Each structure stands twice: as structure tokens, then as C-alpha cells.
Amino acid sequence: MERRTFLTAAGGVAAGAAGLVAAAAGALPVTAAPSSTGIGGLAPAADPTESESAGRRRLVQSLDELRQAVGQAVPGTVITVANGTYDVPAGAPIALAGVRGRPGRPVVVQAESPGGVVLTGEQSFVLTGSTDVTLSGFAFRQQTTLDIPPDCKRIRLTRNDFQLADIAGVHWVMVRADYSSVDHNDFHGKSTLGIYLGIEGAGTDGMARGVHITRNHFRDHTFPGDNGGEPIRLGVSPRALSTAAAVVEFNLFERANGDPEAISVKSSGNVIRHNTIRDSIGGIVLRHGNGTRVEGNYLLSGANGIRIYGNDHQILSNYLERVSGIVLGSGSLRDHYPGEPPTSRTGNDAPDRVRIALNSLLDCTGGISGESHRTLPPLDCTIADNLLVADAGQHVNMPFQDGISWSGNLVWGAAADGNAPAGTFTRVDPKLVAGQDGVRRLSAGSPAINAATGSYPGGTLDLDGEPRGRRADVGADEYGFRKPRFRPLTAADVGIHAR
């Protein structure tokens, strides 16, 4: 590209780099609430344009200059790449080998302005043995996967635009490094087999721990097949029993039509919360693994809702409107186990000790349902204090009843009750009123107020981010007068230009 000369203020960097918002470096305990201070109460990593003032600052205008600057980087170095298009030659990627920042003082490699540096060619960055590195503001247009390998740690991808070559079978980003974060990125425009973002780990059965995925925009995946086009795939079946402790929160999915699973969970011990899935075929599916918490998500005007396999999951305070509903699956085997043959591990693990509570299902085609085409039923599961409103179909269709405890659910509308046990549902008008955001919440005098039968410990939030009272309300919304902290996300809330 044409060489250019830049002048910067003393001690400063190019203006377009300012304002990057940091993501936290670790993992949130599955029972913790969102924190303005970051993950698990840890302070978020600081803005690279401010916290790294004691480090070196470099402005580079060619790939050779970038490679040289990376080779000289020390903790706190900020390398700004001048805006333009850079074609990375085949066989000569931008190597980040043994680049080592420190917590709070990462090595930052950033575009002059978000999306202003376009990287084309076979590969872009290739990382090995690096820690505390931030890649920010690039438009990735390469032909192969951007891989964050397991010999790295605390790698951050932020404010990037991903639209790789539309090649069948190419996954766009694969994160296998512990305590990495993927935030404020745009993923869009894939029509072939392959996922936008995968999380895996070392070896054949490990998972990267503590990965944080937040404020990303996943849109317009149009692969027409019925499997293999997920926006997020959190693990794969051989890694199902590995605890990832990942947090996937405040992401927006629109027209995610490449797979029935927009968020596909195939690992254990994760938190999936406050995401919005709109106008999409894909839903939230706990396909493999145990102990994941799905809380406060919006699933709006699409095809699939929430589907569950595995043990000890919590499905709380989700808002589903005009999607299929919630499916408590059945199993081809009772439980997965260490050393299991691959042919068995790909099977469906029957749900045990799953709690489905405090959810709102409005105009959903299937309400709360189960599966009958596999022989092993759910066991010791609870379906309680959910609110179901619909004028078509039936609210409940559960072929296996013996392993489920029902209580405190409210139903309304012309839809049939279905086959829920007598006395476990109350048919009554919940007096819902739509707000300016389109969300239907409880109004004064609703019979859902203080009507929950279950016990919900401290830290349980409603859909709006408000704490549940001593006696919780039925459904996703806890009645109150405060302005909601959380609402359905829009494009302005996520991606490279969001705050």
C-alpha cells in the first residue's frame, strides 16, 4: 500500500484508537450477577489508550513495520496500524510468537480506527505462546481460521469486523486459550458450512477456561443446511464433560439461520445470559454437558427457543415470544461418562435435575414440551412458576411425566392446557402490558405478583436485571416501578461502534 506520514501528539496515539472499552479477563461464577466492575467482581482491563501510557507507542504503516514492532513489544506497548488495506502474503502471516504483556498491561495491536485496517490474504495474525495481547479494530477478510491456540492466555479480540472468505467448512474464529475475551465484534455474511465463533481447548477433550463473550453482533448466517452453521459453538461432543466456565452475555443475534442452534453449548459449567436472539432459526441449545445457567435471555420472532439435554442446568427468567418454546429433551443414554466411546458421546444425554422456572412464554407454538422419539426420560426435573400465554396450540405437551415436578405455573389464552398434571397450573389473566420496548410485563393487580411457589436465593434476577423479592413473581418479570436495567438489544448496543 502507499506509504503515508503521520504526526501524533507527544505521548499520544492516532485519534481513531481512542474509546476502546475493555472486557474482563476471567470467568464469572455461575451464580453471580452481572457486575459493572467486570467478571466475578474483578476490575475490567483498562482502555489501552490510557492504561498503557508507561509503555511504548508505535505507529506503523506497513506489514514489515508491524512485524518489527511486534518483535520489540514489551508489556504496555501499543502498536497502531495506519488505516488502509494490507494483503498478507501467503506463507508470511503476521506472527505473534512469544509476545507477552501482563494483566492490566497488555500488548495492544490496534487499527487507527475501528474497521479502518482491512487484512486480506490467506492468513492474518498467527499466535503462539503469547499472553495478554489485544487485537483491536481490524476488518478480517482472510481465507483461513483466526486461531487462538491453547499455549496462549488472556487474548482479547475487540472492535473487529469479521467477514472472512465464504468458503465451505472454514470456521472464522476458534478460541482455545484460557481467560480470553471476544467483545464488541461484528460477525456477518456467511452462506456456507462453518461457524462464526468456536470455543475449544487443549487436546481432544479439554476446554479453554474463563472465556468471556460479550457485546458482539452475530448476523446473517444463511447456510441452508440443518447443521453446522452456528454463530457460537461452545465446545464439541468429546469436550462435553470439561468445565469451561464461559460467560456468554449481552450478544445480539439477528437472522442467525445457518443452524437450529444459535448458541450451541457442548461443554459444562457455563453462563448464558441477557442475550437477544431475533428473527432467527437458531435458538439456545444445551446439547452436551452439565451445569449451565441460562438466564434473562430474549428469544423473539424466530423458530427455535430453548432446548435442553444433560444434567443440573438452571433455565431462569427467560422471555420467549413467537418462537417454538422450551423443550426438555429425552435421551439416547442416561449420562455421558469419561472414556466414553465417540459413538456414544454424540448421543443425547437425558436431562436430570434440570430446573425450568420463572420464564415467560408468549405466543409460542409449542409452550413447554418434551420429546418422545428417544426412550430415556427426564428425571428429578422441576418446571415451576412459568407464565404461558397463547391463543393457539397447547401450553404443555410432555410425553414423560413421572420424572418431573410441576408447581405454580400460570396459563392464559385460547390455547389448550395440554397434559400438565391437574392442579399444577392456574388459568388466569396475568394482566400483561407492553412497554415502549415491546416487552410485555406485569401490571398492577396481576395475579402473578408474589405468586411463585419456589424458593429463589439471593442473586436471582428478573428479566430486567432487578432482584427477585422474598416472594418472587411468576414469569420472567418481577413487578416494580424502576426503569429496566436490561432490555432487548439492538444493533446500537453491540459491535465495533457500541459504547
**8 A C-beta contact, residue 354 and residue 378:** yes
Domain count of the fold of the chain: 1
Grid-cell match 413447554, residue found: 368
What is the model's pLDDT at position 354?
A: 98
Q: Is the dihedral of CA 378, 247, 302, 360 positive or negative?
A: positive
Q: In the beta sheet, which residues pair with residue 94?
A: 125
Q: What is the rounded CA–CA span in Å between residue 144 and residue 139?
A: 14
C-alpha cell at 421: 398434571
Kindly state whether residue 16 falls inside one of the protein's structural domains.
no
- List the beta strands (DSSP E) in 141-275: 146-148, 153-158, 161-162, 173-175, 181-183, 186-190, 197-199, 212-214, 217-221, 232-235, 247-249, 252-256, 261-266, 271-273
Give the CATH number, domain containing residue 342: 2.160.20.10
Q: What is the rounded CA–CA span in Å between residue 209 and residue 247?
A: 10
Burial class, 370, CB count within 10 angstroms (exposed 0-12 / middle 13-18 / buried 19+): buried
Choose among 333, 326, 322, 410: nearest CA to 367: 326
Q: Is the dihedral of CA 149, 152, 156, 161 positive or negative?
A: negative
What is the model's pLDDT at position 49?
A: 44
What is the model's pLDDT at position 56?
A: 92
Choose among 199, 301, 210, 305: nearest CA to 262: 305
Kindly state whether residue 384 falls inside one of the protein's structural domains.
yes
Kindly state whether residue 139 falls inside one of the protein's structural domains.
no
C-alpha cell at 442: 406485569
C-alpha cell at 246: 464461559
Kindly state whether residue 473 falls inside one of the protein's structural domains.
yes
One-character DSSP codes across 75-122: TT-EEEEPSEEEEEPTT--EEEES-B-BTTB-EEEEESSTT-EEEEES
Domain containing residue 348: 184-493
Kindly state whether residue 347 falls inside one of the protein's structural domains.
yes
What is the model's pLDDT at position 459?
A: 67
CB neighbour list of residue 21: distance below 8 Å, 6 or more residues apart:
47, 158, 183, 184, 499
Mean pLDDT by groups of 10 residues along the chain of 499 residues: 31 31 31 35 38 71 98 98 98 97 98 98 98 99 98 99 97 99 99 98 97 99 94 97 98 98 98 99 98 98 98 98 98 91 91 98 97 94 98 96 96 96 95 97 98 85 91 96 94 97
pLDDT, tens only, 59-71: 999 999 999 999 9
C-alpha cell at 189: 455474511
Considering the chain, what percentage of its residues have pLDDT values greater than 70?
89
Beta pairing class for 440-442 and 432-434:
antiparallel
- φ, ψ at 40 (rounded to 5°): 60, 25
Kindly state whether residue 309 falls inside one of the protein's structural domains.
yes
Q: What is the rounded CA–CA span in Å between residue 95 and residue 124?
A: 8
